[in-house]
């Protein structure tokens, strides 16, 4: 559907999944939110809610909101049928301080409906990880887990990463994020300039059952383009900047030169 | 005029054109809009309408707006006496699908008052291009055309580009955009790092009748600065990010260090 | 304090100063504003006022505001107990045009409560500089001065810079900014890529009485991180983008991976 132009023409690339009525399971777009205010949040939901599956209040930024403002923001986002959750680093702090149960409790109370579970900075033994995921699910939270370390020096072997992906999904995680941080440079599948290291992607893909279980953090356009061309318009992407949501949607659907060109070549 | 400081002091660089009463023909600033919501659009018009000549809903992003929201946004922009138009890629999709007439019709109906005509991705024979421009003018739309390919592999010779510029202007285009994409890197007059390739600029300039017919896409500050220093404060610039409009105006008028320094040197 | 999560857990890095009740003298965060509209300004104050000490309407951008809008914006910012001032370049224009007294007068009238005093582009003899600072203080304005040239070709010796820092503080400046421009590249303590040149930092530090008198312009994350790791969470930082305020606060307090990791290592 081309909304305001509905009967005028068609999407060059067809097959985009819809969020409605009950949420997408493929073609996910997760947005990174570094502190949008209420006006900006309302703007984002009005222009883009149909194209956003989840909003992450990244790092520990949610710590700095007044409670009233945070509740109001969460409500605006939830009304637009968008998942909302605090950043994984925040959850890691709770685990490190031994207060994960209280963290889950408060996450629910504040109105978040999802949670990110990661070990980007701290160490979590495999068995504990399963329990952590289970507890969140028991609380009624949607779990998005993450693999990969924030500091490249701590990187884990890809075989280990694939094992975690598998076991997280088995434990009930909705998707497993492949870490790339906010900047998308020098971490995970990206080199220091942000270019994709194809061999890394190959290794991950060949080590997992279903690539649709993965949610690739891809803050830069070249990364989004690579992943769309490789895995199709409904690849799951994360750490998308709020101002890039419609541009990404255009890229997925062939309404931006890079993917339009290929669509035209294919249809002749 | 220095608005809130009107009687305090003067612009270091004088001669900036005004939009009023009937629109600027030199010194154009075109803004690239990737999906501003209503609050942000109102903010932009309130702070910057006097310094913005046109707003482009870039790529095919306008496809993703609800009709009501799109109409409201267009109204806010038009009330501020700013031109508004969908991105050229969107028009190329319509041409490729053989529904250009319907596209023009809908563009008008939705309230847009201008249109971008480009062949950044598709091929359009010269004769057809003239007809496309003419039809838009007949519909009462202001035409901004564009030369240059989005993919550097498809680049056309500069002589050909200059020919198109001339014939577009003859056909009634208001200005002809020199393509640089959103990023301004590795395309047209910019190298992979975004630096200006002077020899490219020289070739274009020597091939056109009037450099004021051109509107240079210049998303990066070094590009804006180069073009202002070379062609003067009233050079036509496009793909300016919304958050950079006042910074660009400061650069034009000598209220930013780079151009202030030169203004002070010149006046002694 | 972790606001909305207050009784859930603790900041990993402790000792962050508070703005309240009477303004911070260490741990300053100065934000660079290139033209935020009223909605965006209200958003910023609602989410982040507790973490912002000052807002700079950078370069000469304040010249382009309608008086009514500018007054309204200043009021919103002042109500949030945030200092607000025009960019130093604007003050340099006034000095160059011989209307500094009128500039001070108008700055006060419009509602600004602070002023930036710099010589990034123009030359100001030492004695005149003292007089300029004194006059602003006499008017009841908080003075933030700046050392360093915008054009690297004009760079002054660090010994001279340290002398100016000392004499500005003696003359009553609240803090002295170490210049890095909006981009933070190829200027002052940063090389062309934005990396910190440690030897430059060392020289400045060893030439001043109290490093807390300095406010380091640090627009890029790697710069903020370096300065926090070197000088502690309460280092004074400037030219922070509005959208980065909460991310910076997270970095200061160990709620972002880079500083969380170190905090966990230190506490075992």
Asked if C4 and A65 come within 8 Å (Cβ–Cβ), the reply is yes
Of A69, A70, A97, the CB nearest to C10: A97
Of B4, B249, B258, the CB nearest to C67: B4
pLDDT band at residue C6 using 50, 70 and 90 as cut-offs: confident
Would you state the pLDDT for residue C266?
85
Would you state the pLDDT for residue A267?
76
Q: Tens of pLDDT along C100-119?
A: 999 999 999 999 999 999 99
Asked if C69 and B48 come within 8 Å (Cβ–Cβ), the reply is no
B11 to chain C: nearest residue by CA? C93
Chain B contacts in chain C segment 32-51 (CB below 8 A): 34-40
Q: Tens of pLDDT along A42-64?
A: 999 999 999 999 999 999 999 99
Instruction: Please tell me which chains touch A, using 3 or more CB pairs under 8 Å as the contact test.
Output: B, C
Query: Is residue B252 scored above 90 in pLDDT?
Result: yes
Q: Tens of pLDDT along B22-56?
A: 999 999 999 999 999 999 999 999 999 999 999 99
Q: Is the ipTM above a cut-off of 0.90? A: yes
Q: Is A229 part of the contact surface with chain B (CB cutoff 8 Å)?
A: no
Mutate to test the interface with C, among A36, A57, A93, A151 (most CBs of C within 10 A): A93
pLDDT (average), residues B51-65: 96
pLDDT band at residue B267 using 50, 70 and 90 as cut-offs: confident
Asked if B257 and C150 come within 8 Å (Cβ–Cβ), the reply is yes
pLDDT band at residue B268 using 50, 70 and 90 as cut-offs: low
Query: Is residue C2 scored above 70 in pLDDT?
Result: no
pLDDT band at residue C268 using 50, 70 and 90 as cut-offs: low
Per-residue DSSP letters for chain A?
A: --GGGTTT---SS------TTT--SSS-EEEEES---HHHHHHHHHHHGGG-SEEEE-TTGGGGS-HHHHHHHHHHHHHTT-EEEE-HHHHHHHHHTT-HHHHHHHHHHHT--EEEE--SSS---HHHHHHHHHHHHHTTPEEEEEES-SSGGGPPPHHHHHHHHHHHHHTT-SEEEE--TTT-SSBTTB-TTS-B-HHHHHHHHHHSS-GGGEEEE--SHHHHHHHHHHH-TT--EEEE-GGGHHHHHHHHHT-SHHHHHHHHHHH-
Asked if A3 and B102 come within 8 Å (Cβ–Cβ), the reply is no
The residue among B267, B268, B233, B231 whose CA lies nearest residue B253 is B233
**Cβ atoms within 10 A of the Cβ of C108, count?**
15
B90 to chain A: nearest residue by CA? A255
Of C3, C44, C261, the CB nearest to A37: C44
Would you state the pLDDT for residue A152?
85
Query: Is residue C1 scored above 60 in pLDDT?
Result: no
Query: Which residues face B85 on adjacent strands?
Result: B56
Asked if B247 and C59 come within 8 Å (Cβ–Cβ), the reply is yes
Q: Tens of pLDDT along C43-60?
A: 999 999 999 999 999 999
How close, in Å, is residue B243 to chain C by CA atoms?
7
pLDDT (average), residues A179-203: 93
Would you state the pLDDT for residue B2?
67
pLDDT band at residue A146 using 50, 70 and 90 as cut-offs: very high
Would you state the pLDDT for residue B257?
94
pLDDT band at residue C235 using 50, 70 and 90 as cut-offs: very high
Instruction: Please tell me which chains touch C, using 3 or more CB pairs under 8 Å as the contact test.
Output: A, B
Whether the pTM exceeds 0.95: the reply is yes
Q: Tens of pLDDT along C75-95?
A: 999 999 999 999 999 999 999
pLDDT band at residue A143 using 50, 70 and 90 as cut-offs: very high
Asked if C40 and A38 come within 8 Å (Cβ–Cβ), the reply is no
Query: Is residue B168 scored above 70 in pLDDT?
Result: yes
Query: Is residue C176 scored above 60 in pLDDT?
Result: yes
Query: Is residue A263 scored above 70 in pLDDT?
Result: yes
- Return the residue matching tokens 């939830």: A78
Go through the domains of chain A in sequence order and give each one's CATH number: 24-267 (3.20.20.70)
Q: Tens of pLDDT along C124-174?
A: 999 999 999 999 999 999 999 999 988 888 888 999 999 999 999 999 999
Asked if C260 and A64 come within 8 Å (Cβ–Cβ), the reply is no
pLDDT band at residue B176 using 50, 70 and 90 as cut-offs: very high
Query: Is residue A1 scored above 60 in pLDDT?
Result: no
Query: Is residue B150 scored above 90 in pLDDT?
Result: no
């Amino acid at each position: 559907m081309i909304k305001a132009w509905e009967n005028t023409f068609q999407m060059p690339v067809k097959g985009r999944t819809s969020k409605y009525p009950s949420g997408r399971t493929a073609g996910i777009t997760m947005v990174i939110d570094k502190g949008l205010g209420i006006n900006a949040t309302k703007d984002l939901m009005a222009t883009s809610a149909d194209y956003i599956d989840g909003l992450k209040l990244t790092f520990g930024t949610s710590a700095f909101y007044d409670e009233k403002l945070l509740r109001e923001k969460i409500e605006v986002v939830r009304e637009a049928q968008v998942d909302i959750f605090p950043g994984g680093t925040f959850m890691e702090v709770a685990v490190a301080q031994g207060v994960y149960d209280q963290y889950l409790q408060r996450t629910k109370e504040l109105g978040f409906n999802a949670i990110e579970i990661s070990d980007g900075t701290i160490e979590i033994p495999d068995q504990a990880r399963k329990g952590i995921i289970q507890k969140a699910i028991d609380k009624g939270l949607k779990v998005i887990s993450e693999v990969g370390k924030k500091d490249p020096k701590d990187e884990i072997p890809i075989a280990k990463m694939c094992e975690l992906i598998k076991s997280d999904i088995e434990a009930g995680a909705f998707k497993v994020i492949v870490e790339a941080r906010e900047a998308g440079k020098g971490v995970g599948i990206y080199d220091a300039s942000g270019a994709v290291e194809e061999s890394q992607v190959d290794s991950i893909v060949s080590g997992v059952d279903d690539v649709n279980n993965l949610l690739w953090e891809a803050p830069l356009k070249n990364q989004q383009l690579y992943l769309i061309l490789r895995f199709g318009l409904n690849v799951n992407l994360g750490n998308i900047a709020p101002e890039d949501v419609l541009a990404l949607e255009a890229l997925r659907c062939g309404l931006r030169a890079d993917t339009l060109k290929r669509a035209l070549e294919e249809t002749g």
